Amino acid sequence: MMKFVSWNVNGLRACMQKGFIDVVNDLKPDFMCLQETKMQEGQAEVPLDGYNKYFNSAEKKGYSGTAVFTPHTPESIVYNGMNIDDHSHEGRMITLDMGKFFLVNVYTPNAKEGLLRIDYRMQWETDLLEYLIKLDKEKPVVYCGDLNVAHNEIDLKNPKSNVGNAGFSDQERNKIDILLKSGFTDSFRYLHPDDTGRYSWWSYRFNARKNNAGWRIDYFIVSDRIRDKIINADILSDIYGSDHCPVLLELDI
């Protein structure tokens, strides 16, 4: 069995001041997938013995960025797998070829208030789907990260007042529909189809986390043909250190 954890750390250096290393040492994941690292590789020491550390940093300092920490050695690593220049500047993707499967860690672009970036977001989603389908033809895919969308009303506390807002627009939700109809499974909803009040992100405003007024926008999505290998899928909402909490996947793979 392999344990995967995904966490938008909202700045890895800040998160390390709030217990990040202890979280990793306690969970002992096979793959620790991070989003919004907001740092360049080498800007800070990440004291995790036995872990290989792979960073894809944004060209803009202190912005975006992804990383994967793993004790395993990938067969290959691709940092901008879509190979499209528009998507190659913000450090939003890392793909590890692990032999039996691909691991794709992604920090999806935010559509922004007023959907100012929705056109780019839609192009990202279209290109990413094509990439995931291409990978899936070769071997199963484990796709994870902060996908910046609550798929259904069950996935956020206040759906009615957020209809049309970034992260809950029809356009963004439809892209998840298309993905899940293209041979992929939302691991959390596969095991917990009716769970309510299960969120992975809370605004820092209005005591949102204290009141559990959150959104489920962090996911593990796997190829349909390995969904029967899902042992556990969970949201670790008791872990602090960011405005997101980690999400967990355990696979018999």
What residues act catalytically? 107, 146
86 contacts: CB under 8 Å, gap ≥ 6 = 120, 123
* Burial profile 23-48: b = 16 or more Cβ within 10 angstroms, e = fewer: bbeeeebbbbbbbbbbbeeeeeebee
DSSP 110-162: P--GGGTTHHHHHHHHHHHHHHHHHHHHHS-EEEEEE-----SGGGBS-HHHH
Name, in order, each residue with C-beta under 8 angstroms of 57's C-beta and a sequence gap of 6 or more. Answer: 37, 39, 40, 41, 65, 91
Q: How far apart are CA 41 and CA 39, in angstroms?
A: 7
Residue 252 Cα to chain centre, angstroms? 20
